[in-house]
Structure 1
Amino acid sequence: MSEMRFNPITLDWVVMAPGRMLRPDDFHPQVVSHPTRPVHRDDCPFCTGNEAMTPTEIARVTAPDGSWLVRVVPNKYSVFDATLNMQRKRHGTFRSMSASGGHEVVVEHPRHDLDLGEMDPAHLVLVLRMYRERYQMLREHPMVESIVIFKNQGQRAGSSLEHSHSQITAAPVLSSQVCMRLQEARRFHELEGGCLYCAVLHEELLAEERILETGEAFVAFMPYAALSPYHTWIFPRKHQAAYDEISDADIEELAGLLSRLLRRLKAAAGAPDYNITFRSTPVGEVSGCFHWYISIVVRISQIAGFELGSGTYINSMRPERCAERVRGIVL
């Protein structure tokens, strides 16, 4: 039977409707192919030897032999421009402003054929440290209010280049989504005297059935009102507002957990495309009621008219069932 579940963090109502998987389908689903990729491509701007194809490098992690292990470059097709001066315009209800900020690309590995989940956890440590370093640098920009670290893996997730990479944006405004989540976190803090995210994590640990993995510093689980099949959250146990507060020791644990989780999701869901987002408190927010976390959205379902018209998601696989399948994957 269908059931509606509420997510207190996102304020989304989600319809759990397993019966939707039995619908007839006149449109034959496209078979997602994952062709074998070469270790190196001469025409790939992110492969070693092709560094001249990218804008001037911002940062790198260097190997003992002088080669690079992780690179950061400005996005060639940037959404935001750090050179723009902040200008606002208004004419009646029409408002605009300069898209001042930053947009960077993190090239995660010199090899062309490795996805994030296929990299050694020790290499993921380098990537996660670079995220922290760039987050700390970007928050010093006087116009920045929101920093988002994200990864689009595969075409269905919005990636245009197959060489594994992620992106970091620094925007001069807060989106309505961020404002809403921050407002709800504040409201919970005022009424309950605690952190909404800590409370959700505590209740998920008590329930146990959606937990994927627990560690000393992090917990991976599928939320009670998961928006889609295999929708996964990773929460730090410690109450921290922003990603750049993470310690070196916690980065090492997170790298191992993320590596195992991505491999399990790949096996359970059939090597799907996915999006990873690091959600942190807005820059300059001092209330401490926010709690940073990582969201992984697996792209095996599509948004259609009901979702667009109602703002309510339909999930055709209950998170308990998805969590059971992922836990059953033996690495």
Structure 2
Amino acid sequence: MSVIRTDPLTGFTTIFAPERAKRPIAIAKTAPFDEDIQVQMETDPFAEGKESETTLEVYAVRTSQSEPNQPGWSLRVVANKYPALIPSNDPSSDQNSYGVHEVIVECPQFETQVTRLGLSQFQEIFRAYRNRVAVHRCDPQLNYVIVFKNQGILGGASLGHAHSQLVASQVVPESLSQELETAQRYLEQHENSLFSTFSQEMPSGFSGLVTSTTHFNVVCPYASRFAFETWIVPRTLRTHFDDSTDQELDDLAQTSRRLLLALEEILGSHDFNYVIQTPPFDTTKESGYAWSLRIYPRLAHLAGFELSTNMFINPVFPEQAIKHLKKQLGS
């Protein structure tokens, strides 16, 4: 039986259709051949020793003896060579096209699966995110920043080497503006944050809570657009990601790594996206908004229905995802 739900924060509508999981798939996604991996490794521009193939680094974690833009690093951040936005005020360009597009290279060796990185590497990654968001906050021409990871073909990755990206812009996406308006309206009406309800039981009996840590709640949204979509939300309901403490980032590194490994155990090796959704720089805690890390497993292509209606079809109810995740995480 199909069920239609609308997410209380995002406004996205999802049709839950478990029967869709039984449909035959004649077009399979094949794993890359060994020779394909070899070619990727040989041509990998992000590998240690190929620093000249990227732009100059703007942030790096490296040994004390090493020099910038030379080997000896464990993480590098560089400007994207093919940016979506350009950090220049060219009078001939669109006035809103000013921005920053960076790549966070997450490890020096060729590795396609971020889950194969260790906890200390995850900690470095999230510290790098915080640093870069804080840096761009200081630019008065920028209003908003998003950090995201594309892994695999369905996730939109163009290079196999584990990396994530950051885009800072003058323009705040309309979807985020709608989230902010919804959060503000909910706070005014109920005197508490809508984000605080994600881990609580709804009147319908639904509870999105998967597990809790010292600093975070792991939840599956009521109207998940993707099978096993999962969010990590700070229990303090901290507004901005770059205000996170070292202790919170260490917890986030461990929690996200455990969660990605659990999803891999349940779904097998799969493509995915994750996004750190943090509000515009001028957002205050009085908005009722909290940043979150949102994980979107990509088990199938978006098709004509989704693209034309902005509605989504999901074969897995969040209740089922929560049950599997709790079992895998031992919570």
**Same fold per superposition (TM over 0.5):** yes
Question: Would you identify which runs of 4 or more consecutive aligned residues in structure 1 move more than 4 Å?
Answer: 34-38, 85-88, 206-210
2:240 counterpart residue number = 242
Q: Secondary structure at the match of 1:275?
A: strand
Residues 125 and 24 from structure 1, CA distance in 2 versus in 1: closer, same or farther, beyond 3 angstroms? closer
Shift of 1:203: 3.5
Q: Secondary structure at the match of 1:156?
A: coil
Q: Secondary structure at the match of 1:151?
A: strand
Task: Indicate which of 123, 133, 139 corresponds to 2:121.
Answer: 123
Distance in 2, Cα, partners of 1:249 & 1:279: 20
5+ residue gaps, structure 2: 67-71
What is the percent sequence identity of the aligned residues? 28
1:132 counterpart residue number = 130
Distance in 2, Cα, partners of 1:210 & 1:285: 26
Residues 207 and 45 from structure 1, CA distance in 2 versus in 1: closer, same or farther, beyond 3 angstroms? farther
Aligned residue pair count: 321
1:69 counterpart residue number = 74
1:184 counterpart residue number = 182
Does the 8 Å CA contact 1:80/1:103 hold for their aligned counterparts? Answer: yes
Q: Which residues in structure 2 correspond to 1:146-157 (within 5 Å)?
A: 146-157=144-155
2:321 counterpart residue number = 322
Distance in 1, Cα, partners of 2:127 & 2:200: 27
Distance in 1, Cα, partners of 2:254 & 2:151: 19
Q: Secondary structure at the match of 1:97?
A: coil
Q: Are residue 54 (structure 1) and residue 21 (structure 2) matched?
A: no
Residues 307 and 174 from structure 1, CA distance in 2 versus in 1: closer, same or farther, beyond 3 angstroms? same
Residues 246 and 330 from structure 1, CA distance in 2 versus in 1: closer, same or farther, beyond 3 angstroms? closer
Distance in 1, Cα, partners of 2:176 & 2:114: 27
Distance in 2, Cα, partners of 1:35 & 1:60: 32
What letter matches 2:74 in structure 1?
A: L
Residues 236 and 174 from structure 1, CA distance in 2 versus in 1: closer, same or farther, beyond 3 angstroms? same
Does the 8 Å CA contact 1:275/1:297 hold for their aligned counterparts? Answer: yes
Shift of 1:304: 2.4
Task: Indicate which of 171, 174, 186 corresponds to 2:169.
Answer: 171
Deviations 1:158-196 (A, max 9, x none): 111100000000011111111111111111112112211
Task: Indicate which of 82, 86, 89 corresponds to 1:81.
Answer: 86
2:22 counterpart residue number = 22
What letter matches 1:156 in structure 2?
A: L
Does the 8 Å CA contact 1:209/1:323 hold for their aligned counterparts? Answer: no
Residues 65 and 258 from structure 1, CA distance in 2 versus in 1: closer, same or farther, beyond 3 angstroms? farther
2:69 counterpart residue number = none
What letter matches 2:22 in structure 1?
A: L
Deviations 1:176-221 (A, max 9, x none): 11111111111111211221111223337x9686433320101212
- Name the Cα RMSD after superposition: 2.4
My pick for the range that moved more, 28-37 or 55-64, is 28-37
Shift of 1:120: 0.8
Shift of 1:114: 5.3
Task: Indicate which of 191, 201, 223 corresponds to 1:193.
Answer: 191
Shift of 1:148: 0.2
What letter matches 1:226 in structure 2?
A: S
Distance in 1, Cα, partners of 2:276 & 2:168: 13
